[in-house]
Structure 1
Amino acid sequence: MICNPYLPPYEYVPDGEPYVFQDRLYIYGSHDQANNPGFCVEDYVVWSAPCEDLSKWKYEGISYKRTEDPHNEDGAHALFAPDVVRGKDGNYYLYYCLDFLEEFGVARSSQPQGPFTFYGHVRRQDGSLLKEFFPYDPSVLIDDDGRIYLYYGFSAHFISGSFGKITPSPGCMVVQLEDDMLTIKTEPKVCLSCEDASCPPEHAYFEAPSMRKINDLYYLVYSSQSQHELCYATGRYPDKDFTYRGVIISNGDIGYRGNQKAVNYVGTNHGGLVGIQGEWYIFYHRNTHGLATSRQGCAERIVIKEDGAIEQVPVTSYGLRGKPFEGKGEYPAYIACYLERSDTQPKMSYGKDYKETEPYFFENRTENGLEHYIANIINNTKWGYHAFDLDKNVSIQLVLKGQAEGNISVCADREGDQQLGRMNINMDAEEWVPVAIDLQNPAGISNLYFFFHGTGSLNFKALIFV
């Protein structure tokens, strides 16, 4: 099934950079772990899918291990967000940073899926490493004229006090590389300032640059100072004169059609653009497990207008599918794109665990395998899907377990004004139980929101149309 998250639910690859090589879509990202409070605790892996069928994802295996970098033989540093580019020599080059080590490593492979072999560190002609302006979150572009550009930068001023002598970058930095893909040809300079006067402060550059050239326009996608959103700036040159254009996506739908309250638990965001068979998509990630970590990749279809503009798109459950699901069959809980409580909605802060007070997407390891569900559905929780193409007056089942008393209502809107069905619930179940609700809905495309009011807590595993 094509859905969000687009990879199997047991996989946690955030910071996704999508590229099409040889008619396959490849995803390069960092690698989180289910219910682990650390960022990027695993080695890099690669997944790919044929462009003609984005439901057929293939696990290509571990592409690069953190211990392969000679500066990290003990594995003490984590592999943060990478980027990959096909070089002029036909090889594939993986650019990465080891958390806060202040340097870029480069690995090389003859195949897009790897495995990659350590190649060197980004350096000057004299062999000294590029360390200025906090090397972090690399993005690489080989332009039509053969020039090679490396973008990077982390404009978080709090890090200067948290991590010793690290100096945050003043915006998105750019250097030009020699053909060896390692040696810098120009000194670092700012191509998009984090204090750009044309950009509202909350949308200014923060981290996660991702560069693409589309037609004759350069698109710099980045995570803003708000962190939950991916913004973009465009320019006619690869290294200067970028202009802020807007927000492409927020993983909490903040700003979409004026919305100011997140529809999901937000944290960081990072991703890039890709064209697949005539359509354009933005890749991003979401949080799970009540943590700022355990992030999963998602994607949405976008439209690039004639003037190069991209309007903000909403988070959906269907993602790369590009259209609503049919209101038939069974759908897992984990593809819900809405999850919130009406009285609280904290931003996921690193180092904090919100499982006691908030609902969350959860992976449970049992003797029969892995289960994925929404856990800790407590009073004033609402969750939902965007979207379904429904027949008139459908009947559904919610697969639930837990101890709770109250009611569940089903609505077509987030505010709960367009109620389609309601049921009372008095449950004390340690095993999964299907609970039926008849809906009074018109035929057509609709979001489905579920509201729980009551005491106790529930876990939700699946939605079934019957």
Structure 2
Amino acid sequence: MASSPFGPFKHGQIIKGIKGIDPSVFIDEDGQGYLFWGQGYAKGAKLTPDLMHIEGPVHDSLLTYEKDAFNEGSSIRKRNGIYYYVYASHIRHGESNCATLCYATATKPLGPYTYRGVIIDNWGSGKNLVNNHGCIQQINGRWYVFYHRPTHGSQTMRKACVEPIYFNADGSIDKVEMTTQGAAGPINPLQRMDAARACLMHGSVMVNLRRPKNDIPVEYLSDIQDGDDAYWKYFDFDQKNVKTFTCKLWGPNQPATIEIHLDSAKGRLIGKLNVAPMKGETAFTIHKTSVKAVLGKHAVVLVFKGHGQSGSHANAQAEPGSSLLSLEWFVFGKD
């Protein structure tokens, strides 16, 4: 117990009568508390007024692995008399990948619940992805979904992300996509973009971390190989008059070309950046190239090419299967 959500917490004890993972407490409008938990089969029970004990029976299988693709990560909210049970699900990518946040609804906190659909899917946010956990929450009159993506090159390291969500008249929630902008509006391309904010990656590319001595840790994209790509959504290019693209590469790199596309890996090509090989002579390099004029809102997609496929370094050969380069940031410019 504590008088603040930041603690200090005291008198911790195991609640008798429950066993499982990912506990979540929900307090209804009448002040009644409920505890939800479970893996594979969602469980729930009323809590005593002090929230320290179960009151009454445990309700088993509120949602099930087989029928509702329930894995774990219970979270309950209430809106307009409807209870929303948000959870991590394997419904899309196989039993070992609960990358999808699904939801079910009921008119009572302990159900019965009916599966309603997918809210967000973090598949593609990193090659070290294993699951997704989150919730929905209203803030200043707007509703959002909070979820996570992998980071630091590890399955156990996760970064919190947020996207706005929208309800239909029947109480259903429209599925939303992962973006880089999150709860904010489209991004100004003239502001520096950290590469680790990529919302979609294909191939071996992943978010990694370096820890400079006596400095702030820095995230970057690593393990990039020939043919990989990464997406950043969305940029507003109107009235920006961009003419150049500049990026920072960290550490050694092989001969490579970075193609700059709009909206998809095969979308409009607005520029190419040829990168000479570096064998560790310097800690980092800054590269710049011109780009074609762009208007409107677009995703920026970088496609990485190696093995001397194009550019002035066509005769230099990258080592097959090894990392081409590591990308720390990029920015568009007016000159």
Is the CA contact 2:24–2:37 (under 8 Å) kept in the aligned structure 1? yes
Which of 317, 325, 334 is the matching residue for 1:458? 325
Is the CA contact 1:359–1:376 (under 8 Å) kept in the aligned structure 2? yes
Alignment of 1:147-186 (within 5 A): 147-155=32-40, 171-186=41-56
CA distance change for structure 1 residues 118 and 208 in 2, over 3 Å: closer, same or farther?
same
Alignment of 1:307-386 (within 5 A): 307-321=170-184, 323-341=185-203, 358-369=204-215, 370-386=217-233
Cα distance in 1 between the residues matched to 2:254 and 2:169: 53
- 1:400 is aligned to 249
Cα distance in 2 between the residues matched to 1:135 and 1:182: 16
Q: Deviations over 1:207-247 (max 9, x none)?
A: 00000111201000000124101100011111022111111
Cα distance in 1 between the residues matched to 2:101 and 2:65: 17
The letter for the 2-side match of 1:361 is: V
CA distance change for structure 1 residues 374 and 313 in 2, over 3 Å: closer, same or farther?
same
Stretches of structure 2 that go unaligned for 5 or more consecutive residues are 91-96, 307-317
- 1:423 is aligned to 273
The letter for the 2-side match of 1:301 is: P
The letter for the 1-side match of 2:297 is: I
Which of 237, 243, 246 is the matching residue for 2:114? 243
SS at the partner of 2:183?
helix
Runs of 4+ in 1 over 4 A off after TM superposition: none
Deviation at 1:149, TM superposition (A): 1.0
1:224 maps to 2:224: no
Cα distance in 1 between the residues matched to 2:176 and 2:209: 28
Cα distance in 1 between the residues matched to 2:168 and 2:270: 36
CA distance change for structure 1 residues 368 and 375 in 2, over 3 Å: closer, same or farther?
farther
- 1:298 is aligned to 161
1:144 maps to 2:32: no
Q: Deviations over 1:21-50 (max 9, x none)?
A: xxxxxxxxxxxxxxxxxxxxxxxxxxxxxx
The letter for the 1-side match of 2:231 is: G
Q: Deviations over 1:325-345 (max 9, x none)?
A: 11112121221212221xxxx
The letter for the 2-side match of 1:217 is: I
Stretches of structure 1 that go unaligned for 5 or more consecutive residues are 1-107, 123-128, 156-170, 253-261, 342-357
Cα distance in 2 between the residues matched to 1:425 and 1:307: 53
SS at the partner of 2:254?
strand
CA RMSD across the alignment = 1.8
Between the two proteins, the alignment pairs up a number of residues equal to 305
Is the CA contact 1:393–1:438 (under 8 Å) kept in the aligned structure 2? no
SS at the partner of 1:113?
coil
Deviation at 1:117, TM superposition (A): 1.9
Deviation at 1:299, TM superposition (A): 1.0
Is the CA contact 2:152–2:219 (under 8 Å) kept in the aligned structure 1? no
Cα distance in 2 between the residues matched to 1:385 and 1:117: 44
CA distance change for structure 1 residues 291 and 195 in 2, over 3 Å: closer, same or farther?
closer
Deviation at 1:368, TM superposition (A): 4.8
The letter for the 2-side match of 1:190 is: D
CA distance change for structure 1 residues 379 and 250 in 2, over 3 Å: closer, same or farther?
same
The letter for the 2-side match of 1:270 is: H
CA distance change for structure 1 residues 427 and 241 in 2, over 3 Å: closer, same or farther?
same
Is the CA contact 2:242–2:332 (under 8 Å) kept in the aligned structure 1? no
Is the CA contact 2:265–2:302 (under 8 Å) kept in the aligned structure 1? no
Is the CA contact 1:191–1:240 (under 8 Å) kept in the aligned structure 2? no
CA distance change for structure 1 residues 387 and 287 in 2, over 3 Å: closer, same or farther?
same
SS at the partner of 2:253?
strand
Q: Whose radius of gyration is greater, 1 or 2?
A: 2
SS at the partner of 2:220?
strand
SS at the partner of 1:379?
coil
Alignment of 1:7-406 (within 5 A): 108-122=1-15, 129-131=16-18, 134-155=19-40, 171-190=41-60, 192-195=62-65, 197=67, 199=68, 204-225=69-90, 226-252=97-123, 262=124, 264-265=126-127, 266-321=129-184, 323-341=185-203, 358-369=204-215, 370-390=217-237, 391-401=240-250, 402-406=252-256
Cα distance in 2 between the residues matched to 1:441 and 1:239: 56
The letter for the 2-side match of 1:461 is: E
Cα distance in 2 between the residues matched to 1:360 and 1:146: 44
The letter for the 2-side match of 1:436 is: K
Cα distance in 2 between the residues matched to 1:285 and 1:445: 25
Deviation at 1:457, TM superposition (A): 2.0
Of stretches 424-433 and 222-231 in structure 1, the one that deviates more from structure 2 is 424-433
Deviation at 1:462, TM superposition (A): 0.9
TM-score, normalised relative to structure 2: 0.85
CA distance change for structure 1 residues 142 and 367 in 2, over 3 Å: closer, same or farther?
closer
